[in-house]
Amino acid sequence: MASPQARSRAGWARNSTAWEKRSLRPDRAQSEQAGAKNQPRASRQIPKISPERAGRYQKSAQSEQAGAKNPSTRHESCKYASPTSRKCDRVRVGQDVVGPQDVPGKWRSPRPYLTVTHKHCHTLPPSCSHVNTFNLQTHKNTHHTPKHTLVLVLLPRELTHSRTLEMLPSHAPYLLIGGGTASFAAARSIRARDPGAKVLIVTDEPDLPYMRPPLSKELWFSDDPSVTETLRFKQWNGKERSIYFQPPSFYIDPEHLTGAENGGVAVLVNKKVVHMDVRGNKVKLDDGTEISYEKCLIATGGVPRNLQVIERAGEEVMKRTSLFRKIEDFKSLENVSRKAESITIIGGGFLGSELACALGRKAAESGLEVVQMFPEKGNMGKVLPEYLSNWTTEKVKKEGVKVITEALVKSVSYRDDKLEIQLKDGRLVKTDHIVAAVGLEPNVDLAKSAGLEVDSDFGGYRVNAELQARSNIWVAGDAACFYDIRLGRRRVEHHDHAVVSGRLAGENMTGASKPYWHQSMFWSDLGPDVGYEAIGIVDSSLPTVGVFAKATAKDTPKAATEKSGTGIRSESETEDTAASPVASAAPAPAVENKDEYGKGVIFYLRDKVVVGIILWNVFNRMPIARKIIKDGEEHADLNEVAKLFNIHED
C-alpha cells in the first residue's frame, strides 16, 4: 500500500497535469484572460498548494538551501545547485515566448517548461537527479505584467523526471537525428512536399540548426565586440545575417508536435540518440526516452580528429588544445585569442587555412602571434596542384601568419607555462594554445545497434544512390558514403553537400526515389581577397590543367558578392541547367610558371575526363562547371573549355 507521502505526490502530479493542460489551451487561456480583466482583483483565483503539503516540505527545503551555501553538503555535480539568480528568456505564455523572467539558477535549464495563464505561472523545473523537495517561491516579473506573480514549484525527483519524459513526443512521423545543415535541409524539403508533415529533429547540441562555415570565416571579421553572443555577421556584400538558419519562431515546441494540426518542425536540443531499433522503428535517447518513427534520417555529421601525440600528452596539454566544429568552439577560441600571446594551428587544409587567415588578421591589431604548421609542402597541398599551393602559402604569410611547411609533430609537452611542439626534424615551436584542424571522423555510433554497414574505404554509413541505408532509413551529410551515378562511391564533408544531400533525402523520404546526381560545390575564402569554388573530385594526386589570367579588383570574394547581391556562398544552387555561355575570343594559354595566379580554372582529370574543377577567384560560373562534369566527355583542348568561364574578361 502506498505511503501517505507517495499518495500525496501522486495527487499533486495529477493536479499539476490538469492545470498544465488547461493553461496550454490557447482558446481557454484567452477566455480566462478576458474574464480576468472583468473580475475584481480580490476575486481572481490562483493555483494553490495546500498549506499542509507546503509545510511538510518546508524544513527539507530550508536544509537544501543551506546545503547550497555549504560546499560540504552541496551536490557539486548538480548544475542547478547554484543559489544565484539568472535571467531566463524562454518563459511560455500559452504557445508564445515572453521574458525575460527571474528564475533561480537552481531551476534554470536551456528549455525550462513554464505554462502561464493570465497573471499566474505554474512551472515545472528541469529534471535534476538531486531535486527531492517541494519549495515555493514568488518572484516579481520585471518584464511582462506589473506585479505579475511567478509561482515556482520544485517537484520531487521522480515526478520531475517522469513529467519531463511526458512532455516529449513518443512518436514522430519524420525523425531526423542530428541538428546540422543536412537535417535542416531535409526538414524543409519534407515540409515542401508534405505541408502537414510533423518533423522532429534531435540534436545533442544546445542550439537550433545553424550554418558552420561562418565559424571559421565571416564571424572572425566582425567588428562587433559582442559577436560571440549575437552570432551575427556582415557578409562580403555588406548585408547582416544570423548564423542560425531560422529564428526560434520558425519552430514549434516538441511537446506540441503531436497535436499540431498543420504539422511543423520541432527541435529537441541537448538530447542524443544512443540506440536504434530498426525492426521496431524506434530510437532511444540518452535519458531513456523512446521515440517511434515512420521515416528516419541519420545526419549525425562527424567529430573533429585530434593528433594521437596530443591525446597522449596529458591533461595540461589537452586543456590548451582546441578542436573546432561547433558554436561553443568558436566562442572558446575567440576568447583564447584575446588572452594568448601565441596560437599554433596544426593542419593545412580548408579549416586550418581559413582559421590561420582569420586569426592572422586579428593578430595585426592585437599583436597575437599566429603559427600554422602542416606536413605538406604548401597550404591545401592535398587539393591544389603544387605550384598553386605554394603561391597560396605566400598569400597566407601576407595575412600575418608564420607558416611552417613539411612539419611532422613528434611530441607535445607543457613546460614553463608554454606548450612545446617538437617536430621530427628537430625544430621546436613554443606556443600558448594549439588548434588541431586535422580532419573529421564521420559519426557512425548508431551503426552497431541499427545493423547498418560502414564503408571500409571512405568511412560513413554506406547508402545507395537514393541515400537509403535500409527500409525507412536515409543518411545525409558528412556521415553518408553514397553512390554518385557520375563519379562513383564517395563521401563528402562540405556544407553545400549537406544542403544537397539533405534536400534529396527529404524528397525521397516523401516518396520521390531520386538518385544523387546534382553535384554539390564547396568553397573557401582566405580573407576577402582570395577565394575559390570547387566541384567534383579535386585531388592534387590527379593530373591537372590550369588556365589563368591576371586578376582585377573585381575578382575577389567580396567584390563578387557585392556585385551579385548574394551573401554567403554556402547555399546550394537549385536544379541548374547552364545558360548558353558566351565564349571569349581572347587566347587562353595554360599557365604553370607564372608568379601570379590572380584568377583561373583548374581542371582535374581521370582517364582524360574532367572529374573536378576549381574556379580560382572566378565566381558565379558554377552551373557551367557542373555541366562539364555531368557530360563526362573527353576534351582535346581544355584551353577552349576554359573560354566558357570568361576568365579573360575584365
Tell me the pLDDT tens digit for each residue of 349-397.
999 999 999 999 888 778 899 999 999 999 999 999 999 999 999 989 9
DSSP state of 583: P
Note the pLDDT of residue 53: 45
Of the candidate ranges 63-72, 219-228, 246-255, the one whose mean pLDDT is the lowest: 63-72
For residues 476 and 8, give the distance between their C-alpha atoms in angstroms, rounded to a whole number.
Answer: 49
DSSP state of 467: -
The SS3 call for residue 239 is coil
Residues 6+ apart with CB under 8 A from 561: 235, 236, 237, 567, 569
Note the pLDDT of residue 161: 45
What pairs with residue 136 in β-bridges?
Answer: 153
- Per DSSP bridges, beta strands 433-436 and 342-346 are parallel
With 0-12 CB in 10 A as exposed, 13-18 as middle and 19+ as buried, what is 280?
A: exposed
Is the pLDDT at 198 greater than 50? The verdict is yes
For residues 373 and 427, give the distance between their C-alpha atoms in angstroms, rounded to a whole number.
Answer: 12
As a dihedral over the C-alpha atoms of residue 490, residue 492, residue 496, residue 501, rounded to 10 degrees, the angle is 50
For residues 383 and 350, give the distance between their C-alpha atoms in angstroms, rounded to a whole number.
Answer: 9
The SS3 call for residue 264 is strand
Q: Which of 242, 210, 184, 183 is nearest to 567 (CA)?
A: 242
Q: For 335-354, b where at least 16 C-beta lie within 10 A, e where not — what string?
A: ebbeebebbbbbbbbbbbbb
DSSP state of 249: G
- Per DSSP bridges, beta strands 480-484 and 461-462 are parallel
For residues 463 and 295, give the distance between their C-alpha atoms in angstroms, rounded to a whole number.
Answer: 15
Tell me the pLDDT tens digit for each residue of 241-278.
999 999 999 999 999 999 999 999 999 999 999 999 99
Helix (H) or strand (E) holding 612, with range, is: strand 609-616
As a dihedral over the C-alpha atoms of residue 432, residue 437, residue 443, residue 444, rounded to 10 degrees, the angle is -110
Of the candidate ranges 183-192, 315-324, 570-579, the one whose mean pLDDT is the lowest: 570-579
Tell me the pLDDT tens digit for each residue of 103-158.
333 333 333 333 333 233 333 333 333 332 223 333 333 333 333 333 343 334 34
Tell me the pLDDT tens digit for each residue of 318-357.
999 999 999 999 999 999 999 999 999 999 999 999 999 9
- Per DSSP bridges, beta strands 171-177 and 290-298 are parallel
Helix (H) or strand (E) holding 124, with range, is: strand 120-124
Is the pLDDT at 293 greater than 60? The verdict is yes
Residue 440, amino acid: L
Note the pLDDT of residue 646: 87
Phi and psi dihedrals of 122, rounded to 5? Answer: -125, 120
For residues 409 and 253, give the distance between their C-alpha atoms in angstroms, rounded to a whole number.
Answer: 48
Tell me the pLDDT tens digit for each residue of 458-467.
999 999 999 9
Phi and psi dihedrals of 618, rounded to 5? Answer: -120, 120
Q: List the alpha helices (DSSP H) in 266-383.
A: 308-311, 315-319, 327-339, 350-366
From the centroid of its chain, how far is CA 386?
33
Largest CA distance in the chain: 94
Q: List the alpha helices (DSSP H) in 25-57.
A: 26-37, 51-56
Mean pLDDT of 489-513: 95
Higher pLDDT, 74 or 205: 205
DSSP state of 390: H
Q: Which of 181, 211, 210, 208 is nearest to 266 (CA)?
A: 208
Percent of the chain predicted with pLDDT > 70: 67
Percent of the chain predicted with pLDDT > 90: 57
Is the pLDDT at 21 greater than 50? The verdict is no
For residues 152 and 146, give the distance between their C-alpha atoms in angstroms, rounded to a whole number.
Answer: 18
Is the pLDDT at 478 greater than 90? The verdict is yes
For residues 32 and 39, give the distance between their C-alpha atoms in angstroms, rounded to a whole number.
Answer: 10
Residues, the chain, total?
650
Residues 6+ apart with CB under 8 A from 519: 484, 486, 487, 535, 536, 626, 629, 630
The three cell numbers locating residue 645? 568561364
Contact 151/124 with Cβ under 8 angstroms?
no
Note the pLDDT of residue 33: 45
Tell me the pLDDT tens digit for each residue of 524-556.
877 667 788 999 999 999 999 999 988 776 666
Q: Using pLDDT thresholds of 50, 70 and 90, give the confidence band for residue 82.
A: very low
* CA angle (292 as vertex; 287, 297 as ends), nearest 5: 95
- Per DSSP bridges, beta strands 401-404 and 468-470 are unpaired
CA 501, 507, 513, 519 torsion: positive or negative? Answer: negative
Of the candidate ranges 157-166, 197-206, 406-415, 500-509, the one whose mean pLDDT is the lowest: 157-166
Note the pLDDT of residue 5: 47
Higher pLDDT, 595 or 72: 595
Is the pLDDT at 6 greater than 70? The verdict is no
Average pLDDT of the chain? Answer: 76
What does pTM read for this prediction? 0.73
